[in-house]
Chain A
Amino acid sequence: MFPHTRRTRIVAATAIASLIGLTAACSSSGDGGSGSTDPEVISGDITVLTWRTDLVEDGTFDGYKAAFEKAYPDVTVEFEGITDYEGEVRTRMNTKEYGDVLGIPNTVTPAQLPDFFEPLGKVDELEKTYRFLRDKTYDGLSYGIPVVGNTQGIVYNKTVWKEAGITEVPTTSEEFLADLALVKATGSIPLYTNYKDGWPLTQWESHRGSISADPEYQNKMTVSDAPWAEGTDHFVIDSLLWDSVNQGYTEADPTSTNWEESKALLATGDISAMALGSWAISQMQQAATDAGQDASIIGYMPFPHQTDGQFYASVGGDYNQAINVNSTHKAAARAWIDWFNTESGFAEAQGGLSPLKDGPTPSTLVDFETLGVEYVAQNPGVEGEESLLNDIDNEAEIGLFAPEYRQRLVDSARGATDETKEQIFDDLNARWAAARASIG
């Protein structure tokens, strides 16, 4: 639900280097897994495809490997870090060789899940243990379990906002824009779009559902001919982005932004805020520490909107780990997924929400706890129509999670094109309605 491909961009060369290292470490293959869940019985070599090339590099995954292989002595696990995860894995899924365990690429529609992945069980059963599962279910069966849950908000530099004289977290778009004006007076870039890298702009999309506080918001989009009509979540979210850019609160030349640099700039206060998922908080805290600041200067606020005096923030799973339907070691693969989610401590280490139902609240979200933010998770479509939202989006070529759609808004807002905000919304509504009609 919240894609963030290439959040950690590592050059391809290092990924290749690690791959070579992994191949060299390959041992001879054991025999196939049986149906048993007994750690003594499960055996085999499994390959885990991962998008976290940074964690493969820095040895974090080696630690997981050692701990897992201790618990399951007959299983050998290898990692394959992939830099262009979405593109490469999708292409590889046309063959049978896409690892034993992998994160489900975001472009796989729910209806395609049974073709490529092994069902992990009935979603109702699994939900006794896990949460954020609904996104990767089809026909009542669950195909993936998220490694971590994310919520959405705006990460900001507390020192800068304090210097600007802001004491209260903004509760409306107007207040937020007024605050950005105060921040601008201090000389900091109030809001950074990361337009050039593109994918950070897609983070704005993840706020959908948190404005209306409606778990059915996505499903309502599939029956609406005007998801950008005044008052909808998309209208509120995109208007805030448009107005921030239009009133000059974002970087002067958005085409020359740089994601890695932006983290350091937020830490030093040259940038005051960015709209990003909760996964970004720990990275920003790290950047603050690297810049000689205290990690506590990094704050996190919900989208500036309240329903009945209450903040809401959408939540959903990160990448979901799933089992390749062609795998010959499914029991071992399953053991890895369960172990990773329950024993590894990955979610805590990443400062994200645990995929476990009764998991602890991470320390990174202490700001949300203080504000009493309520979480909203989106319900999947009715059985058999889980793919509808994706299908309409692709048919309309809008790309709700594609950078182009919001780059167009930014370009219009900064006067680089002649379009007005209303014209863009009208066009989006028209394309959505036409796509809905053609998919029928």
Chain B
Amino acid sequence: MTFASKSPRPSGPAGRPAVAGRPNAAGPAASPAADAVPAPGPTARSAPLHSPPSSRARRRRGTWGWAGTPYLFLAVPILLLVLFTYIPVGNMFWYSLTSWDGLDKTKEFVGIDNYVAVFTRPELFKVFFVSLYYLGGSFVQMVLALYFATILSFSTRFRNVFKGILFFPYLINGVAIGLIFTYFFKAGGTLDTILHLVNADALIQQWTGNPDIVNFSLAGASVWRYMGLNFVLFLGAIQSIPGQIYEAAELDGANRWHQFRYIIAPSIKPIIGLSFILAVSGSLAVFEIPFIMTGGANGSMTFVIKTVDMAFQFSKVGLASAMAVVLLAIVLLLTWLQRTIIPDEKVNLT
């Protein structure tokens, strides 16, 4: 451990800013990627946002630059954030207290009526049941991601090619993925053709038509899409473990499993915690894939599709806004619970 040019703490850039920078529940996975992608290894972590206070003090005393300069730079992103996130959320909260239909010139104030409706109408909450399929899917997704991340963190042949292949689906636009899987699952589509080629015709199903299967199919598409994100998060964390530790472990006679169990798993615990939160909030807010593939028909209705229907099909923007606020509250609550129950431990391998 003498050549400690690499930082020993793996919980850094990929994890923390992802939570802080996540603007709302609707885009659960957007910003972590932006933070995670350019940080494959520890060298890319000269993040200025995390510069310790001492450096700021030094800058103020420096010969060039004015004390307000950082705030000037901050003003632009903050302005955008306020304009496109906080003002719309504020508006949404205001709509949720009205019976507005999305068009009327006047917005009639109805107090908490919409919230009462959300909590007293079981059919609005029942759709959260569908989220369980996606939650189950996200555990499969995390296990797969961890498996691939571990394998590819060792020196595997063609590892960069595999990394690219595994991460690629996450880069595809969600609508395109919906269309791809629409053709994949349709009667006589890609999946059926493959099953036919391998003489497994008995396995052919109505993948989206059978109400017992549809949610598994959709959750499967979701796993395919987001596995790459989990994979990159895990890989980033694993690669920030200094190589000397493995070396030392090998000298002590540890095999690959031991290395995973006693070095990798404990080091990436914070990232696993983060992925867990993303999984829960993501599965509550599932939208694109079922919306494109089934439109919520055939028992695949999710809470967000229901919200959209309420606003644009039945012109109840007030009630729909209340539903969106409730969803936001649930996600915040779960995040808070998770952080209370599983506190952020400092990982120390040395």
Interface residues of A (CB under 8 A from B): 87, 90-91, 93-94, 107-108, 112, 115-116, 195-196, 198, 252-256, 258, 394, 397, 399, 402-404, 407, 411, 416-417
Contact = CB atoms under 8 A, between A and B. Distances in A.
B187 interface: yes
A112 B103 contact: yes
B189 interface: yes
A256 B309 contact: no
B266 interface: no
A24 to B, nearest CB: 27
Contacts of B182: 256
B217 to A, nearest CB: 10
A394 B315 contact: yes
B206 to A, nearest CB: 4
A112 B314 CA distance: 15
B208 A416 contact: no
Given A404-B309, A416-B211, A255 B297 contact: yes
A403 B209 contact: no
Given A252-B206, A394-B314, A394-B315, A404 B297 contact: yes
B274 interface: no
Contacts of A93: 103
A264 B102 CA distance: 38
Given A94-B103, A399-B314, 19 more contacts: A90-B102, A91-B102, A93-B103, A112-B104, A252-B209, A253-B208, A255-B208, A255-B209, A255-B298, A256-B206, A256-B209, A397-B310, A402-B309, A403-B295, A404-B313, A407-B298, A411-B298, A411-B299, A416-B299
Given A255-B208, A255-B209, A256-B185, A87 B312 contact: yes
B255 interface: no
A411 B105 contact: no
B100 to A, nearest CB: 10
Contacts of B209: 252-256, 416
Contacts of B102: 90-91, 94
25 contacts: A87-B312, A107-B103, A107-B315, A115-B104, A196-B295, A252-B206, A253-B187, A254-B209, A255-B208, A256-B186, A256-B187, A256-B206, A256-B208, A394-B316, A397-B310, A397-B316, A402-B313, A402-B314, A403-B295, A404-B297, A404-B309, A404-B313, A407-B297, A411-B299, A417-B299
B24 interface: no
Contact of B105 (A107, A115, A399): A115
B105 A252 contact: no
Nearest to B296: A404
B295 A411 contact: no
A416 B314 contact: no
Interface string B224-249: 00000000000000000000000000
A399 B315 CA distance: 10
B7 interface: no
Interface of B: 101-105, 182, 185-187, 189, 206, 208-211, 214, 294-299, 309-310, 312-316
A115 B104 CA distance: 8
A416 B210 contact: yes
A116 B296 CA distance: 32
B23 to A, nearest CB: 21
A117 to B, nearest CB: 12
Given A198-B295, A403-B295, A255 B206 contact: yes
Given A112-B104, A394-B316, A411 B297 contact: yes
A411 B103 contact: no
A137 B211 CA distance: 43
A28 B182 CA distance: 46
Nearest to B205: A253
A99 B102 CA distance: 19
A403 B187 CA distance: 21
B140 to A, nearest CB: 23
A15 to B, nearest CB: 15
Contacts of A399: 313-314
A439 to B, nearest CB: 12
A325 B337 CA distance: 52
A116 B295 CA distance: 31
Contacts of B298: 255, 407, 411, 416
A394 B209 CA distance: 28
Nearest to A414: B209
Nearest to B210: A416
Given A90-B103, A255-B206, A198 B186 contact: no
Nearest to A115: B105
Contacts of A115: 104-105
B71 to A, nearest CB: 33
A108 B104 CA distance: 9
Contact of B211 (A87, A112, A403, A411): A411
Pick the 7 closest A-B CB pairs, nearest first: A256-B186, A253-B209, A255-B208, A253-B187, A416-B211, A253-B206, A255-B209
Contacts of A411: 211, 297-299
Residue of A108, A255, A417 with highest tally of chain B CB at under 10 A: A255
B118 to A, nearest CB: 13
B189 A256 contact: yes
Nearest to A87: B312
B208 A397 contact: no
Contacts of A254: 209
A252 B187 contact: yes
Nearest to A251: B187
A112 B312 CA distance: 16
Given A394-B315, A417-B211, A253 B186 contact: yes
A325 B161 CA distance: 59
Residue of A93, A112, A253 with highest tally of chain B CB at under 10 A: A253
A411 to B, nearest CB: 6
B269 to A, nearest CB: 41
Given A87-B312, A404-B313, A417-B211, A255 B294 contact: yes
Contacts of B310: 397
A399 B309 CA distance: 10
A343 B209 CA distance: 48
A397 B314 contact: yes
Contacts of A394: 101, 314-316
B270 to A, nearest CB: 40
Contacts of A90: 102-103, 312
Nearest to B316: A394
Nearest to B209: A253
B211 to A, nearest CB: 4
B196 to A, nearest CB: 16
